[in-house]
Chains A and B, each alone.
Chain A
């Protein structure tokens, strides 16, 4: 799949933002006034910023409101609803915490739940696609959720919670890569089933339909950069999990915390780049590009 910057920014930032909102909704850390304002400002900048970025790849962003209509069937539509509900509920909760010195905990709990649901629905947009075996597995939502929780805890300064969550996310990441590398093969889809000619012999793409490129090849058949995938996996793993864990084990200070967050963010962004760049869409089979 084409690793479009808009979707990488969107899933990385909003995942982190909604993770932070979740912890704020649970009252972790228990802050009020100006400190609470800063925390909520960061959470909204990340989550709303990410959502805005996701509209950049739309052909007609001005009609984006129509995406709220099909929640019965479409995960993209459900994601839109969850995000709006989470942002409104958490906004009301934030007003209480920042300006009125009130903790409306029920509202916080509801906001936290919808923040989590937003991340889950985002992951389901990818997980539902049978056409991309590497995404079409239960580990995809597990990865999105564990990343969001670990990043949220890190941003919320919850060191004791962040450490185990980072370790869980790291484990899920390794499992995801391991299983993902076999996903296309295990799906049973190949050029033989794609053309229906597989039982006659070995099928080979002989001539493409056209000499130039097209939308399908640009969008679904990204092969550039795959050769560095192994190195990028190591870089992303070290940045997202190893460094933040080491920094958290050091005596806690604002500087180390900031460094841990920055490192985690860069690592998750790299992992998301790989999530798209390495995903093989079965349409590539028709072009002999697998």
Chain B
């Protein structure tokens, strides 16, 4: 079971647009909401309303500042979840066969009834995509909403991962990255989609679209700028006298 398939029929995955993400964390909330009450054990929280809350999440949004050699710094919001790697190290390290990659669509899943909660798969993942649920003692990870994408009880528009359905900015895309003619593959080709930590040799399926170059801000912000200069002339007459008198006091 923990041998990786030599190839998968499809490579279902996400394309995340770092240019469009506004960092609202809606995908984090919808992911937790859907996945805590569907596939597998719930995503538990510890001390949720106390002083030191902590919980299991399958998707988290970081924010980074990039400072180029010249010009202004840029803030980039950075959602991160399982990348459903082709060479997933989390699958081969599993001693029980609980962790596996599906041949039909390449989704990496955990069979929770076989998981002994040793944590080795989380150790082997460079992306922090796996979290051991503290209440259940089993490993939780993104399922690519495997219980939504093929679910014929849902309207067709909802048959995408919860995070993709929710994103208000349209920064998340879902599709078959193994098919060069799919919309997501075209998007990756057009925008120069990239892998995270390619040197780890994990061959992630999920791709990230880099932020587009920003306009150069010249010294002159606007042709109207000179007209916006503050107008402060020396006061004359009574106000001038008052100003001088108050100054002397």
Which A residues are within 8 Å of any B CB, using their own CB?
1, 57-61, 63-64, 66-70, 72-77, 80, 125, 128-132, 187-189, 191, 193-197, 200-210, 212-216, 219-220, 281-283, 286-287
Which B residues are within 8 Å of any A CB, using their own CB?
1-3, 18, 23, 25, 28, 52-57, 60-69, 73-76, 78, 80, 89, 92-98, 114-120, 122-128, 131-134, 136-139, 194-201, 208, 210-211
Q: How far is the CA of A205 from the CA of B60 in the complex (A)?
A: 14
Is B62 in contact with A201, judged by CB distance below 8 angstroms? no
A60-B115, A73-B2 are known contacts. Are A193 and B128 too (CB-CB below 8 A)?
Answer: no
Known: A67-B95, A193-B197, A204-B67. 13 other contacts (CB 8 A): A57-B118, A59-B138, A67-B118, A69-B95, A74-B92, A74-B94, A130-B126, A131-B124, A188-B199, A197-B66, A203-B64, A210-B57, A214-B55
A132-B123, A286-B62 are known contacts. Are A214 and B54 too (CB-CB below 8 A)?
Answer: yes
A197-B76, A202-B66 are known contacts. Are A210 and B60 too (CB-CB below 8 A)?
Answer: yes
A215: contacting residue among B18, B75, B134, B200, CB under 8 A? B134
Question: Could you say which residues of chain A place their CB within 8 Å of the CB of B123?
Answer: 1, 129, 131-132, 219-220, 281
Closest Cβ of chain A: how far from B222's Cβ, in Å? 26
Count the A-B residue pairs with Cβ separation under 8 angstroms: how many?
Answer: 197
Is B92 in contact with A73, judged by CB distance below 8 angstroms? yes
Question: Could you say which residues of chain B place their CB within 8 Å of the CB of A60?
Answer: 115-117, 137-138
* CB-nearest residue of chain B to A130: B200
B126: contacting residue among A201, A282, A287, CB under 8 A? A282
A212-B52, A286-B80 are known contacts. Are A206 and B96 too (CB-CB below 8 A)?
Answer: no
Is B199 in contact with A187, judged by CB distance below 8 angstroms? yes
A209: contacting residue among B28, B76, B119, B211, CB under 8 A? B28
Is A206 in contact with B64, judged by CB distance below 8 angstroms? yes
Question: Could you say which residues of chain A place their CB within 8 Å of the CB of B92?
Answer: 73-74
Is A204 in contact with B55, judged by CB distance below 8 angstroms? no
B210: contacting residue among A74, A129, A191, A196, CB under 8 A? A196
Q: Write 9 A-B pairs (CB below 8 A) sorted by A numbering.
A: A57-B118, A66-B116, A70-B95, A70-B97, A130-B89, A188-B199, A201-B68, A205-B64, A282-B200
Is A283 in contact with B127, judged by CB distance below 8 angstroms? yes
Question: Interface SS of chain B: helix, strand, loop or mixed?
Answer: loop
Q: How far is the CA of A195 from the CA of B209 in the complex (A)?
A: 11
Question: Could you say which residues of chain A place their CB within 8 Å of the CB of B53?
Answer: 212
* CB-nearest residue of chain A to B114: A66
Question: Could you say which residues of chain A place their CB within 8 Å of the CB of B208?
Answer: 196
Question: Could you say which residues of chain B place their CB within 8 Å of the CB of A66?
Answer: 95-98, 114, 116
Q: How far is the CA of A163 from the CA of B128 in the complex (A)?
A: 43
Closest Cβ of chain B: how far from A194's Cβ, in Å? 6
A204-B64, A206-B63 are known contacts. Are A59 and B199 too (CB-CB below 8 A)?
Answer: no
Question: Could you say which residues of chain A place their CB within 8 Å of the CB of B69?
Answer: 201
Is A57 in contact with B119, judged by CB distance below 8 angstroms? yes
A59-B115, A131-B123, A216-B131 are known contacts. Are A282 and B197 too (CB-CB below 8 A)?
Answer: yes
Is A125 in contact with B60, judged by CB distance below 8 angstroms? no
Question: Could you say which residues of chain A place their CB within 8 Å of the CB of B1?
Answer: 69-70
Question: Could you say which residues of chain B place their CB within 8 Å of the CB of A283?
Answer: 125-128
B124: contacting residue among A61, A129, A286, CB under 8 A? A129
Is A212 in contact with B54, judged by CB distance below 8 angstroms? yes
Question: Could you say which residues of chain B place their CB within 8 Å of the CB of A209?
Answer: 25, 28, 57, 60-62, 80
Closest Cβ of chain B: how far from A140's Cβ, in Å? 14
Closest Cβ of chain A: how far from B147's Cβ, in Å? 23
Question: Could you say which residues of chain B place their CB within 8 Å of the CB of A64?
Answer: 116
